Amino acid sequence: MRQMNLTKYVQVVSLEDFGKPFRHQAVWNRRLRSTGGRFFPRDGHLDFNPQLYQEFGEPIFRQIVRHELCHYHLYFEKKGYRHQDKDFKELLRKVDGLRFAPKSQQKVTYKCYQCQNCLQIYQRKRRINTKIYFCGRCRGRLLEINQSKG
């Protein structure tokens, strides 16, 4: 689904499920990792996670869109639009939106480092500079040994 198609899709979902128009922009945001989408009260636009759309398909993505539209419509109606507000919980239940984004099934790859002195092993998601960082136990030099999946 492309950028313009996404905004049109959100407009259709808004009219069908809420009976109210969506007048702002909807955009893909590849940097989102643990959330399905975000609502920005300042300018009214919505961000969505394209990875969840690709992984779980249109039915789950529609529920994510409903969740963000709950924030959107309640904010502009000057009602409680945050997760803990009663208005938000009631509207989300009414339109059958997802409360939490589903967990992605993609495996996290860890980089493994081992101290050359005390043989302590460190697993990190991000690569570290072994010229700068050292063992927290004995201050020995670290060596990258392999990559493991978590």
pLDDT in tens, 59-108: 999 999 999 999 999 999 999 999 999 999 999 999 999 999 888 777 77
By residue range, what is the domain housing residue 120?
111-145
- The contacts of residue 136 (CB under 8 Å, 6+ apart) are 120
Q: Which two tokens stand for residue 129?
A: 């500079």
Same domain, 22 and 57: yes
Options 16, 55, 68, 90, the catalytic residue: 68
Binding residues: 67, 71
Please check whether residues 12 and 84 belong to one and the same domain.
yes
- Of the candidates 126, 11, 30, which has an alpha carbon nearest to the alpha carbon of residue 73? 11
| 135 — pLDDT class (breaks 50, 70, 90) | very high
Feature table: binding site for Zn(2+) = 67, 71
- DSSP structure class, residue 17: I
Q: How many domains does the chain have?
A: 2
34 and 60, same domain (yes or no) = yes
E strand map for the chain: 26-28, 37-39, 46-48, 109-115, 121-124, 142-149
Is the dihedral angle over the CA atoms 132, 137, 142, 148 positive or is it negative?
Answer: negative
The reply to whether 68 belongs to the active site is yes
Query: Which residues, in sequence order, are CB contacts of 106 under 8 Å at separation 6+?
Result: 51, 55
64 and 16 share one domain? yes
Q: Which 8-state DSSP code applies to residue 34?
A: S
Q: Which residue has the higher pLDDT, 106 or 131?
A: 131
pLDDT at residue 71, as a whole number: 96
